Amino acid sequence: MKRNSRLSLALHTLSHMAFDTEDAQTSADIADHAGTNPVVVRRVLGKLRSAGLLLSERGHSGGWRLARETKHITLADVYDALGESFVAPRGQTDARTCSVAQSLEVQVSQIMKDIEESLVERLSRTTIADIQNSTKREPSHAH
Amino acid sequence: MKRNSRLSLALHTLSHMAFDTEDAQTSADIADHAGTNPVVVRRVLGKLRSAGLLLSERGHSGGWRLARETKHITLADVYDALGESFVAPRGQTDARTCSVAQSLEVQVSQIMKDIEESLVERLSRTTIADIQNSTKREPSHAH
DNA sequence: GACACCCGTAACTGCTATTGTTACAATAAG
DNA sequence: CTTATTGTAACAATAGCAGTTACGGGTGTC
Ligand code: FES
Ligand code: FES
């Protein structure tokens, strides 16, 4: 898997689950179709559950289910749920740097924040269902 | 230093150098005022030189100079010079993934590319000189 | 109750990117 | 020739992330 594969994994899994909303899917199944490990799946999907996008059940015949229709899950919902951000998690603004550096920090941070906002806005315009609709019918794998 | 400190280092150094365009500055001096190491400085500034933003001279009384006025160096110039990018350096699009995943990849990549473009456009609107002008006169350190 | 199934989480490894550091060849000035 | 400085290679230290193993705890089946 590539860099920051969590978003890809989350989106792919949500799309995949929409094909069978009846049965709960186990992390092992999901890991298998995503080419990764069950624990990795549980880690990522756990964040989606915290954000209210998914439900999980323990024990026999447990697994993961969509908490709502993919028509009502946007890419921004997923992005937010993962807590990812282009804006560097600004550490304390080191009070002993010079005023020029501080000004730089402020201005660049502002631009990053604007861009981040713009990204989220773009992501919020597409739902998981939109992705599926833009795909040719009957993908090559069995559902 | 924090994550991806190269942009900060580059911008701060360019700003700093604008205060004294007469003398060349050594990487040791720059490293000192930036709180890092001369080799790190040479690595980062080397990219700015490749991009034509700086000039360097070897040997006695050598060092670094601005290749043009800070009025004509935008934040985008620096960003580009460093070769940084928010858009993940997309590896080969793994032909054996399912069509849904491919569709996801395409659509997310497109959004990222648009955002990247938008970021560069924003950065190109601010010059190094603008940063200095927005700073209170006489910063706390000596120039 | 015994068992099988499955999530939640901690702990560890391996990989990669980044930063810092030392070392040294090449180059230029005095 | 000596000194100053860049250019670069090599290496260590750190941090983040994907992957893996292990196990506790919950839940349905028998
Ligand atoms: S949507 Fe890609 S494996 Fe099902
Ligand atoms: S501009 Fe910050 S140390 Fe000079």
Instruction: Convert the pLDDT of each residue in B30-60 to its tens digit.
Output: 999 999 999 999 999 999 999 999 999 999 9
- Can you tell me the mean pLDDT for A85-93? 60
| B21–chain A Cβ distance below 8 A for any pair | no
Alpha carbons A33 and A41: distance in angstroms, whole number: 11
| B113–chain A Cβ distance below 8 A for any pair | no
Residue A37 carries which side chain, given as an amino acid letter? Answer: N
Q: Is residue A118 part of a domain?
A: no
User: What pLDDT, on a 0 to 100 scale, did the predictor assign at position B11?
Assistant: 96
Read off the pLDDT of residues B70-126 as tens digits, 9 standing for 90 and up: 999 999 999 999 998 877 555 545 556 788 888 898 999 999 999 999 999 999 999
Selection from A44-48, A88-92, B107-111 with the highest mean pLDDT: A44-48
Name residue, tokens 């921004």: A76
Alpha carbons B108 and A8: distance in angstroms, whole number: 9
Q: Is the CB of A15 under 6 A from ligand 1?
A: yes
User: What pLDDT, on a 0 to 100 scale, did the predictor assign at position A2?
Assistant: 41
Number of compact structural domains in chain B: 1
Q: Which of B70, B78, B11, B60 is nearest to A100 (CA)?
A: B11
Q: Is residue B117 part of a domain?
A: no
Q: Is residue B32 part of a domain?
A: yes
Whole-model pTM: value is 0.89
Cβ A3 vs Cβ B88: under 8 Å: yes
- pLDDT higher than threshold 60 for residue B19: yes
User: What pLDDT, on a 0 to 100 scale, did the predictor assign at position A3?
Assistant: 47
Assigned token pair, B98: 């399912």
Alpha carbons A100 and A88: distance in angstroms, whole number: 19
Q: Cα dist. B66→A42, B11, B142 in Å?
A: 52, 12, 19
Tell me which residue range forms the domain holding B58.
Answer: 6-85+127-141
Angle of helix B5-17 relative to helix B75-82, nearest 10 degrees?
Answer: 130
Q: Is residue A137 part of a domain?
A: yes
| B68–chain A Cβ distance below 8 A for any pair | no
Tell me whether residues B134 and A8 touch, CB distance under 8 A: no
Q: Which of A84, A75, A90 is nearest to A125 (CA)?
A: A75
CA of A22 to C1' of C23 (A): 65
Q: How many CA atoms lie within 13 A of A59 on its CB side?
A: 0
Alpha carbons A140 and B98: distance in angstroms, whole number: 6
- pLDDT higher than threshold 50 for residue A1: no
Cβ A24 vs Cβ A7: under 8 Å: no
Q: Is residue B43 part of a domain?
A: yes
Q: Is residue B111 part of a domain?
A: no
User: What pLDDT, on a 0 to 100 scale, did the predictor assign at position B39?
Assistant: 98
Cβ A115 vs Cβ B122: under 8 Å: yes
Q: Which of A19, A14, A52 is nearest to A34 (CA)?
A: A14
- The helix/strand/coil state of A63 is strand
Q: Is residue A96 part of a domain?
A: no
Cβ A59 vs Cβ A45: under 8 Å: no
Q: Where does chain A show beta strands of DSSP type E?
A: 54-57, 63-66
What CATH number is associated with residue B22? Answer: 1.10.10.10
Kindly report the length of chain A.
143
Q: Where does chain B show beta strands of DSSP type E?
A: 54-57, 63-66
Q: Is residue B12 part of a domain?
A: yes
Q: What separation, in Å, do the N-terminal and C-terminal C-alpha atoms of chain B show?
A: 23
Determine the residue of chain A that is closest to B4 in CA distance. Answer: A88
Output b/e per residue, A106-129; b: 16+ Cβ within 10 A: ebbeebbeebbeebbebbeebbbb
Cβ B107 vs Cβ B115: under 8 Å: no
- A128/chain B closest Cα distance in angstroms: 9
